[in-house]
Structure formats: C-alpha cells, structure tokens
C-alpha cells in the first residue's frame, strides 16, 4: 500500500496569515475573537475574522482589484498557494490534483447581490451570483495555481475538509494522482451567522469547549491546505505521514450529535485501526470540541468508550480560531502536523470546570517538548457525517 506523506502546509485564520503567524499565536495563547466587522448585523456575538479585507487579500495575491472574487475563494487562494509553494509542486504535471471543500461557497457575494436586488429588480451585479456555488471557489484556486489534474469540491458541512483530505489520499493510494492539494476554505457571512443563531447554539461569550458551563460555539473563517504526495513524488523531506483516516455517516439527526457518541466512536476507532495503531499509541487528540453542550458530550462519551481510563492529552483549538465550518479540518490538520513537528500540545482556552457526567479535562496550558508520534484529529459534521484523521511521525 502506498504511503501518503505531507510535504506542504498553508493556513490563514483569525490568529494569523500563514503557518508561522498561526503557530506563534497558538504558542502565545493569542486568540482571534472580536466583534463582527465584515458586515452589518444586529447579533452581538464574538467571531474570529481574518484580519485582512478583501482588497488587502487581493493585494497580497497580486490580483486585479476590479475582478470579482468571493471571500471564500480569496482565503483559499492564500492558503493553497502557501502550501503549494512550500512543497514545490510541479503544476505542469497532469497527476497533480486539487480537492477543496467549503460549506458556503460564494454566499457573501450572493448576499451583496440580494441587498440591492430586493429593493430594485434592475439592480445588483449578476456576476456576483455566478460565483455562488461551492465549486466556484475550487475552480478559482485551480485556475490561479495552474492545476491541470483532477479538480473536485466536497461539501459535507463541518467534516468537509477532512473528507477532502481523505479523498486526496485515496486518489494517490490508488494511483490516480501523485500529488494532491487538499483542504478547505470558508468565509463568514450573514447566512451562517443567522443560521447558527436560529439553532440557538451561538455563545454570546468566548466559547469554552468541554467546560461544564459551555453554552455554544463561536464562528470563524479561514482556510487550510496540505500537500499530500506519494513516496515516488517526493523532492524534499516530508513533515509526516497521513497514516489513517475514516468517515462514517451516522445519520442520527440533521443537526444534532448522537447522545451516545456512536458516530464519533466509529470514526475514531476506524481511523486508529486503519493506521495500524492501538489506542495506547495515540499521543494527542485534536478534538472537534465546538463548545456546544451536545457535541462535546457526544465526543466525550466516544473518547471514554475508546480510551477508557487511559485518555491521551486532548484539546480544542476552536477558542483560538472559532468554528470555521468547511475549513475547520483543513486548518486543524495543519495544526496537527505542527504538533508532531514541534512536539506541542495546544491548550484549550477558557476551560475551568470539567463536565459532571464525563469528567474530562483537556489540556489548558501549552505543552512543549512533548513526544508526539501520532495525532488523532476529529471533524464532525451535520447529519452525522463524522471524520477522523491520524498523522504520524516518519519513523513509526
């Protein structure tokens, strides 16, 4: 079986532009939460915005200011470019593909169109809604980079980027590609903000994953991409190996998590098994950890079922960057690789009290110098589309 290696990383989030800025913020405990500035809204909830405007992002990418790009596409362009440049990807090869994910696509442009159109049917720029669908951002990224191989878009809610990473790995493993740029991108917009508010799962304060007082999630935006390569395509030493993965479709509820954690249990246990590991060999879990009462309880029960009394260090980074939806596992996969490479366990910010039922306590302070050989990273989406990835050191 062909091994899958990680050779490039790219990320943009509310805590930084690029891998270095993100890593520095994680190490310093610096979160990206603040008030909403991207669009007017009556909702007063914290979010994690990328600190650059669309025009600033265009300048960073040397794009024409008069051309229309969704914010989702711009964030994806920045992160995918960083990953591809670092890995030295040869885009002349037709065996280089792009598997990208998003949950909202160009919704920000559609909202801008509708604001004018609803007041006057003769107003609104039709070019804005041309970039509405999820695949449009992928096409923009592929065109910008010059991808000549397979181009695919996945949208499975919050597990989207994890599934993009898995599909890229499978295409390499079965000989269809040698190199795959994989991950996800999502921008904040009114649709997601109001949608999650209607579900009554937005916390009006800074979120507290796994804390007894948790009351909901904070939304965020950003993009994260990895370059995956087969061994025969390597031109430089890789970061680590993508050793295991699993996706299950529990279909328990449209938006709710299984109270017994059946989906998370299956995705985690199957990912560990596919990596050829035992539970004792997992050194760190990057949990999905949204901060909603239901999700954290479900994931906590699954962790207890799998690891028993020997639970490895775990934490959620969503108090740093918010829940970035379709981009979340793209960003958090980058963080998982950084954990292995730098021997770091990132803290769960704002945690104070363990839940009375599961009693789980995440890491609350940065741990450095840790021996991290295998990281399990979770990403669970609406409808019970649950995914888990395992990243491992090269000599495992």
Burial pattern 110-140, b for ≥16 Cβ within 10 A else e, equals bbbbeeebeeeeeebeeebbebbbbbbbbbb
Whether 280 and 254 share a structural domain: yes
Same-domain pairing of 81 and 208: yes
- From 215, 233, 251, give the residue that closes a domain: 233
| Residues 171 and 277 occupy one common structural domain | no
Pick the range with the lowest mean pLDDT from 64-78, 100-114, 214-228, 359-373: 100-114
Domain range for 381: 240-392
Average pLDDT rounded to a whole number, residues 127-133: 76
Structure confidence at residue 107 (pLDDT): 87
Are 210 and 246 within one domain? no
d(CA 208, CA 164): 28
Q: Which tokens in the block code for residue 66?
A: 């008069």
Q: Is the pLDDT of residue 121 over 70?
A: no
Two structure tokens written together for 290: 């949204």
Residue 62: exposed, middle, or buried by beta-carbon count in 10 A (0-12, 13-18, 19+)?
exposed
Q: Is residue 10 within 8 Å of 145, Cβ to Cβ?
A: no
Summarised one tens digit per residue, pLDDT across range 275-303 is 999 999 999 999 999 999 999 999 999 99
CA atoms in the 13 A half-sphere facing the CB of 373: 10
Does 35 lie in the same domain as 150? yes
Residue 118 pLDDT: 74
* 222-278 per-position pLDDT tens digit: 999 999 999 988 988 999 999 999 999 988 887 777 888 999 999 999 999 999 999
Do 25 and 162 share a structural domain?
yes
For residues 211 and 259, membership in a common domain is answered with: no
Mean pLDDT of the chain: 94
Predicted pLDDT of residue 260: 86
Q: Is the pLDDT of residue 120 over 90?
A: no
How many domains does the chain contain in total?
2
Neighbours of 90 (CB within 10 A): 14
Same domain, 10 and 109: yes
What CATH number is attached to the domain comprising 17? Answer: 3.40.47.10
Cβ partners under 8 Å of residue 223, min gap 6: 10, 11, 12, 13, 75, 76, 78, 79, 80, 183, 184, 185, 186, 327, 330, 331
What pLDDT does residue 235 have?
87
The residue among 195, 214, 233 that closes a domain is 233
SS3 of residue 316 by DSSP: coil
Q: What is the pLDDT of residue 78?
A: 98
Say what the pLDDT of residue 124 is: 65
Q: Please say if the pLDDT value at position 145 is more than 70.
A: yes
Of 217, 233, 249, the domain-final residue: 233
Dihedral of the alpha carbons of 266, 13, 151, 189, in degrees to the nearest 10: 90
Residues 149 and 217 in one domain: yes
If asked whether residues 301 and 203 sit together in one domain, one would say no
Q: Are residues 300 and 180 in the same domain?
A: no
Cα–Cα distance between 341 and 388 in angstroms, integer? 20
Residues 175-220: tens digit of each pLDDT: 999 999 999 999 999 999 999 999 999 999 999 999 999 999 999 9
Distance CA(181)–CA(80), nearest Å, equals 7
Residues 128, 48: one domain? yes
């Amino acid at each position: 079986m062909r091994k899958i290696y990680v050779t490039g990383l790219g990320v943009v989030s509310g805590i930084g532009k690029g891998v270095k800025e993100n890593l520095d913020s994680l190490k310093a405990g610096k979160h990206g939460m603040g008030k909403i500035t991207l669009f007017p809204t009556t909702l007063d909830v914290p979010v994690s915005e990328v600190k650059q405007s669309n025009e600033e992002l265009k300048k960073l990418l040397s794009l024409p200011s008069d051309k229309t790009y969704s914010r989702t596409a711009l964030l994806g362009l920045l992160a995918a470019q960083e990953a591809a440049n670092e890995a030295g990807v040869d885009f002349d090869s037709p065996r280089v593909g792009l598997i990208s994910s998003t949950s909202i696509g160009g919704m920000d442009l559609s909202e801008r169109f509708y604001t004018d159109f609803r007041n006057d049917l003769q107003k609104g720029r039709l070019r804005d809604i041309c970039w509405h669908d999820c695949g449009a951002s992928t096409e923009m990224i592929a065109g910008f980079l010059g991808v000549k191989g397979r181009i695919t878009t996945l949208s499975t809610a919050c597990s989207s980027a994890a599934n993009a990473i898995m599909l890229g790995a499978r295409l390499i493993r079965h000989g269809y590609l040698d190199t795959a740029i994989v991950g996800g991108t999502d921008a904040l917009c009114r649709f997601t903000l109001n949608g999650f508010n209607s579900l009554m799962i937005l916390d009006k304060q800074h979120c507290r994953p796994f804390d007894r007082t948790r009351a909901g999630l904070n939304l965020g935006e950003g993009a994260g991409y990895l370059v995956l390569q087969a061994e025969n395509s390597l031109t430089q030493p890789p970061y680590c190996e993508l050793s295991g993965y699993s996706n299950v479709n529990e279909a328990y509820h449209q938006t709710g998590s299984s109270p017994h954690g059946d989906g998370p249990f299956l995705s985690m246990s199957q990912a560990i098994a596919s990596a050829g590991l035992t539970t004792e060999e997992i050194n760190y879990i990057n949990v999905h950890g949204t901060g909603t009462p239901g999700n954290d309880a479900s994931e906590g029960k699954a962790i207890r079922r799998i690891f028993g009394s020997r639970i490895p260090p775990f934490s959620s980074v969503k108090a740093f960057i918010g829940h970035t939806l379709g981009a979340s596992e793209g960003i958090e996969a980058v963080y998982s690789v950084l954990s292995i490479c730098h021997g770091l366990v990132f803290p769960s910010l704002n945690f104070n009290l363990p839940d009375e039922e599961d009693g789980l306590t995440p890491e609350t302070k940065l741990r450095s110098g840790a021996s991290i050989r295998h990281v399990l990273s979770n990403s669970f989406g609406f409808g019970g589309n649950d995914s888990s990835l395992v990243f491992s050191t090269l000599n495992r």
